Structure 1
Amino acid sequence: MAEIRSPRLLMEECRRYTTQLSELRMLLEERLHAARARRARLDVAAIEAALERMERGLYGTCIRCEAFLPLDRLRAAPQVQQCASCAGETRLTA
């Protein structure tokens, strides 16, 4: 059963997500500018695809399994479109 939250808490959460999305958009735009300066076509294409997904409301979800991508993953690589599992990444634990 879904948790019922107060409108105030929902608005705070919405503001937090909006702030995070703005931060990620700025990162994408900075990297797009740098990629264009380097003439790195693959990087430009990946960043433009991420910006398009953002415009369509699909940004931050895996293109394969539709899971939410962790914020730390998006901050490290805002153009990423797959979760670590779908991308075939493995983490070494110490």
Structure 2
Amino acid sequence: MTGLDWGTVPTWLSSFLTGGSLLLGFHILLRDRKKEERSEALKVVCWREDSSDVSETWTVHVLNTADRPITYPRLITRYSKGCGIVW
């Protein structure tokens, strides 16, 4: 026995390390994208304005201070009777 025959072990090792580095790269990209989306979402302000009359109506205002537009905003509310409305 003059030496060990490593065969395809270096090939397997390099492919394993390449796959790991690709997974790490995709993980970093997704993390950065989520961080960017969160910072954009924090730039959206929403508030309720009660009406001055006796009826129980109110107006909801949404202000977007972010660079990108808001698409399909939704309002989910619950009345005291337990009914909900989704727009």
TM superposition score normalised by structure 1: 0.34
Higher relative contact order (CA 8 A, sep 6+): 1
**Structure with the higher fraction of residues in helix conformation:** 1
